[in-house]
Amino acid sequence: MTMTYRRSRPVLSTLSATVAAAALLLGLAGPAAATPVPPIQDFGTIDGFGQNSEHERITRAALACAPGTAPGAAGACFQPASIRQLAGANGTMGAIGAPDADQALTEAAHCDGADYLNAAGYPRTRAQATSVLLSCIAHLKGEFDRGVEKADVLVNAAGAVSVSDTDLSSDCTFVLGVPGRGKCNAIEGFGRALHGTEDFYSHSNWADQADGRSAIGVANPPGLARTGPAPFLRLVAAAPSASDIPGDLTTGCFSLNPWGCGKRITHGVLNKDNGTIDPATGRATSPTTARGQVAGNFNAAVQTAIADTRAQWDGFRGSLVARYGTVRGQRMACAMTHDDPARDCR
């Protein structure tokens, strides 16, 4: 029997949580996590159990090449087989889904737990919430930097693309630390970083609004209604400081312990995880979470995540150039985005 964690349902027995964790790992033995067990709920990585592959669709809307469009030498977009590795598709969660497979309970991988409310008696201080968020950013920056490092083998010092390290005749494996071809490893670092940055916009109040029909409080935290990506989340930049974090910013507390988030803003209250997203246009409709249904919040989270994902790829390409030089770095970006880079990235 397959069981699933659900972030929007905080009450789970210890037994069911243990069984679900074991099933999650046992179900991911095959390449590319084929036919995965349903992961903990955030922006979805599967179709079913209330999810609609939201991570895949956000990532495709941001970075997939439009029909008839080529990535160009600079790797502006990802061709079909390459975006499949990054974003996933039917039968695979892709690199973007890997944290739901083997880091499902790692708070920093999903930017959970940075909750705060400017109200007397709230059990977390602004400093505590900010510290958790900065830990999330540091974790994602580590994944991002690891992807840049792993790109080294894609193009040799003479500028030649490695055929073996960019071969996509079979899907990549992205879970449980299994090493693979160079392109797979570089995409994995980038994809794991994107998972957390995209989650931030669903799990926080950065781009959303509170429900005007209810008083501000733990069950209805304020919204910041920001319309662009969070500058402190730019993974190519230097690590942010506490002063960069807005005073009313909050993400939601998530715990398998039914009493673990007592009197705190929870993931269930704040998330905008699920709805329908057009993978070509990014149009987001039919939200299914309570916060997502308020004032266009689901669409706001999705659009901001799409914009941020594009900015993160621009930053990743810039990091390749900064580390490996213009010619080699640009060719690495070309190799990551083209399906036949040995032919196309000369």
- Summarize pLDDT for 67-104 with one digit per residue, the tens: 999 999 999 999 999 999 999 998 788 999 999 999 99
Q: Please report which confidence band the pLDDT of residue 258 belongs to, taking 50, 70 and 90 as the band edges.
A: confident
Looking at residue 113, what is its pLDDT?
97
Looking at residue 170, what is its pLDDT?
95
Looking at residue 92, what is its pLDDT?
85
pLDDT digits (tens, 9 = 90+) for 226-250: 999 999 999 999 999 999 999 999 9
Q: Which of 88, 108, 113 is nearest to 98 (CA)?
A: 88
pTM for the full model? 0.88
pLDDT over 90 (residue 50): no
Domain coordinates in residue numbering, the chain = 14-28+37-344
- Mean pLDDT for 120-137 is 98
Q: Please report which confidence band the pLDDT of residue 14 belongs to, taking 50, 70 and 90 as the band edges.
A: very low
> Phi then psi for 6, rounded to 5 degrees?
-135, 115
Looking at residue 280, what is its pLDDT?
97
Which region among 13-17, 36-40, 213-217 has the lowest average model confidence (pLDDT)? 13-17
Mean pLDDT (the chain) is 88
Q: What is the dihedral of CA 287, 38, 306, 316, to 10 degrees?
A: 170
pLDDT over 70 (residue 176): yes
pLDDT over 60 (residue 11): no
The one-character DSSP state at 101 is: H
Render 83-121 in DSSP notation, one character per residue. HHHHH-BTTB-HHHHHHHHH-TT-HHHHT------SSTT
Proportion of the chain above pLDDT 70, given as a percent: 85
- Mean pLDDT for 213-225 is 98
Looking at residue 13, what is its pLDDT?
29
